[in-house]
Amino acid sequence: MGYRGKVEEQQRARELRARSWTLSEIAEELGVSKSSVSLWVRDVEFVPRPRNRGHRRNAPHPMRLEKLAQLERCRVDAGEWAQRVTGRELFAYGLALYAGEGFKTDGRGLGMANTSDTVLRFFVWWLRRFFEIDESRLRVRIYLHEGLDLVAATRYWVDALAIPERQFTKPYQAAQRGSFRRAKHAMGCPSVRYADSHLHRRVLAMIEAITSVADLPG
């Protein structure tokens, strides 16, 4: 099966999950493994079916089901749209992301801190895709509360960012205070830095330039 066919299978699985199909039902419908379905639909919101289907009192409200189906249609449409995004648009998106989330202090190089693996993976991909970088100059530092698993967090970010563990610097582990919830940010908040002050200045200059050409009020 080609790439397109696999994408269509994934989108169909997500649509069915939003309609409250079980993992087994989706796997049987699409002729794929249950583990593949579980991976594809792990972030899809759905209303579990009541165990006793004869009791309609526990059935989800039709408006709730329609909302979930609409959300899934939006995700599917967005996925198809994203397949048509150009490299130039991706580069501009990277600049916008850096304008909002990146480090701005001059002389310290490019960098970004975030708890989202999606955001940081894109940032690192963007650096690799659009600039000629020296991989050995990438550094990661994990901010993690005491009591959480530093080994697991490090392994997680090594895999997510494809940056060797030897390029991770000493982590910062904060003491627990008050009502800190152990489950929150279990993998910590890493900062990714690329030590190149010239590239940092180039990126900030491009952000300033692209902002200045916009027809802003005032």
The CATH number of the domain holding residue 140 is: 3.30.1330
pTM score over 0.75: no
- Overall domain count for the chain: 2
Whose CA is closest to 83, among 188, 195, 194, 4?
A: 4
Q: What is the mean pLDDT of residues 29-38?
A: 88
Considering the domain architecture, whether residues 201 and 100 belong to the same structural domain is answered as yes
157-161, 175-179, 188-192: least confidently modelled range: 175-179
| Per-residue pLDDT at 121 | 96
End residue of a domain, out of 82, 107, 130: 82
Considering the domain architecture, whether residues 31 and 51 belong to the same structural domain is answered as yes
Considering the domain architecture, whether residues 121 and 205 belong to the same structural domain is answered as yes
Considering the domain architecture, whether residues 73 and 100 belong to the same structural domain is answered as no
Q: What is the mean pLDDT of residues 51-61?
A: 56
Alpha-carbon span 22 to 46, nearest angstrom: 10
Order the strands of the 189-194 sheet from edge to edge: 110-113, 189-194, 138-145, 172-174
Domain residues for the domain of 190 are 87-212
Considering the domain architecture, whether residues 36 and 101 belong to the same structural domain is answered as no
| Per-residue pLDDT at 29 | 85
What's the whole-number average pLDDT of the chain? 86
What type of residue is 5?
G
